[in-house]
Amino acid sequence: MNIKDKILGKRISGIFNALNILLGLFCIIYYSINANRVNEFNKAVDFYLVLAIMCCGIYVFADYVIADIFNLIAVVFITLSIGKMIVNSINTFADALNGISMFGSSGVIGYIIVTAVVMVIMLVLEIVSCFLSREKKNAMKVVVSEK
């Protein structure tokens, strides 16, 4: 079974996690390039995103019941990544909202908003995914024994 069949055989929860893997890779690349360009890069943001992507991958590709917990753990890592990025760029927000350059920010707020919006989309998909089942339910068979 190849990766495409494995992902498409999942229910919507597995598809959300596969989508989060792609969105997470986009965020890592986009944030790393743009934050390095303006000297505001924080490796913890990428570290938490990598951990979230790993959790999503385990959830999608592992066929064990215990893998369901990785869906919830990914929510924690995405939240940590969003928080770390916002805290790291608070001076840019302060300068942009006040229209001044007082806190030594780069003045570039566009990449922060794009990255934050994509990460919030990831977070919403992951939270919704926590309430959905990963595999199709097997019909329960009722066995009546006669004595």
Contact 29, 36 (CB under 8 A): no
- Six-digit token string for 66: 């215990």
Contact 20, 51 (CB under 8 A): no
pLDDT in tens, 12-44: 888 899 899 999 999 999 999 999 988 888 999
**Count of all residues that appear for the chain in the document:** 147
Contact 105, 91 (CB under 8 A): yes
pLDDT per residue as tens, the chain (147 positions): 666 666 666 678 888 998 999 999 999 999 999 999 888 889 999 999 999 999 999 998 887 878 889 999 999 999 999 999 999 888 888 888 777 777 666 668 889 999 999 999 999 999 998 888 766 655 445 556 665
| Global pTM value | 0.82
| Of 50, 16, 18, the residue nearest 31 (C-alpha) | 50
| Of 61, 43, 49, 48, the residue nearest 25 (C-alpha) | 49
